[in-house]
Amino acid sequence: MADYSYELPAEKIAQHPLPKRDESKLLVYQNGEIQENRYRNLADFLPDTTLLLFNNTRVVPARLYMQTQQGQAIEVFCLEPGPGYSDITTAMSQQGRVVWLCLIGGAKKWKEGTLSLAHTSGDRYFSITASRIEKRDTAFLLELSWQPATASFAEMLSMAGELPLPPYLNRTITAEDYERYQTIYAQHQGSVAAPTAGLHFTPELMDSLDKKSIAKSFITLHVGAGTFMPVKSETPETHAMHREYLEVSLDFLTQLRNHLPHPIVPVGTTSMRTLESIYWIGRKLIKKPNSLPGELQVNQWDPYEAGENNVSPSDALDALMNWMKEHQLSQLMATTQLLIAPGYRFQFTSGLITNFHQPGSTLLLLVGALVGDDWKKIYDYALNHTFRFLSYGDGSLLWKKEPR
């Protein structure tokens, strides 16, 4: 991991977004060359045969500030559904009670009993209780219950929760964040972090892509807290990727199949991981065609343990689409822990639109997998040319560096 670190001065981290989303700077990397522009001109750097892939997940107010029975403050950060839910949409729609995996801020102060929270919003009153089921690594499995029980979990969070800004911003949330920490196309609730590459897109930018006949499509990957987790080991080998939920439609898979072999550019690392996970799911179905819905998942090291790569992207897509038709599914729901690191061979991705990431992170490993050692040249350029870093910062269009 020391090979994927760099010095990031605090003043380079953007604390707030620019007044206009598409005024953010855009670094363009292709064939070893770098140039800079603005997001509003993105269409000028994309062939008209490009398919852009957007993640339409929506960030939920996942932080709950609760109290012990002794009155001590505890922060509950809702990470992901507990066992027993087929997908996040089902879990978010639960009424009255839910089991959720959570991080606990101040866990040592919670000796016994339950946590509680009372919240009034306009003429609506919520009371929430949390009880501990078990500890799981650094998180806790909690049972959360609330009144009125007719409210869904999503509705309860929207009323009583706080938007989870990245910890490196280290500031109080503002009213502006509730709008600007969502993409303009955010739709499906379930993320605890924004797919930040999409924060730069405006209706005007979308119109400019349409005028050039650049195709667009949407998938859903609910971003987990693993986005925030630094790699603490010397190598990625012992780093555990968090499980994240993905959802894609059969219509999208058909569009993807018809688009091959033209350029496919994910907007953000979450879109890329979803796109590449589709290949590994299809490949698994070739080997195990009798897999049932709910059994599909991509593990962290699947690509590196798969052996000879003799399944083409089109074959993997055909297998997945046929399986969905056999099971009469219009939507694929699965989970992924895919780690994209140097040595990974991309199946669909031609390039990537992404922000500038933290040193020593899995996201920087992903960039290194795409552009090789040129990631250092890209980041040195950005640091020396007033680019703003991390979630609210500027971004880049990186075209894949072909291996020798």
pLDDT of residue 324: 97
CA distances in angstroms from 172 to 120, 161, 176, 229, listed in the order given: 21, 14, 11, 21
DSSP calls for 293-351: TT--EE-TTGGGSS-S----HHHHHHHHHHHHHHTT-SEEEEEE-----TT---SS-SE
Residues of the chain by 3-state class (helix, strand, coil), percent to 5: 30, 30, 40
Pairing of strands 297-298, 215-222: unpaired
Query: Residue 171 carries which DSSP code?
Result: S
The Cα–Cα gap between 225 and 78 comes to 9
CA distances in angstroms from 387 to 93, 303, 365, 384, listed in the order given: 40, 33, 20, 8
CB 36 within 8 A of CB 397: no
pLDDT of residue 227: 64
The Cα–Cα gap between 58 and 223 comes to 9
Strand ranges of the sheet holding 331-336, from the earlier edge strand across to the other edge? 264-266, 51-55, 215-222, 244-249, 331-336, 297-298
pLDDT of residue 403: 64
pTM above 0.75, yes or no: yes
pLDDT of residue 308: 77
pLDDT of residue 205: 98
pLDDT of residue 99: 96
Provide the 3-class DSSP secondary structure of residue 3. helix
Structural domains in the chain, CATH included, are 2-58+180-399 (3.40.1780.10), 62-162 (no CATH)
Task: Give 190-228 pLDDT, tens digit per residue.
Answer: 999 999 999 999 999 999 999 999 999 999 999 987 766
pLDDT of residue 241: 81
Q: Where are the alpha helices (DSSP H) in 67-117?
A: 88-92
Residue 356, token pair as written in the block:
């500038």
CA atoms within 13 A on the CB side of 93: 7
pLDDT of residue 8: 96
CB 393 within 8 A of CB 23: no
The Cα–Cα gap between 221 and 187 comes to 11
Residue 247, strand partner residues? 220, 333
Residue ranges of the chain with per-residue pLDDT less than 50: none
pLDDT of residue 295: 87
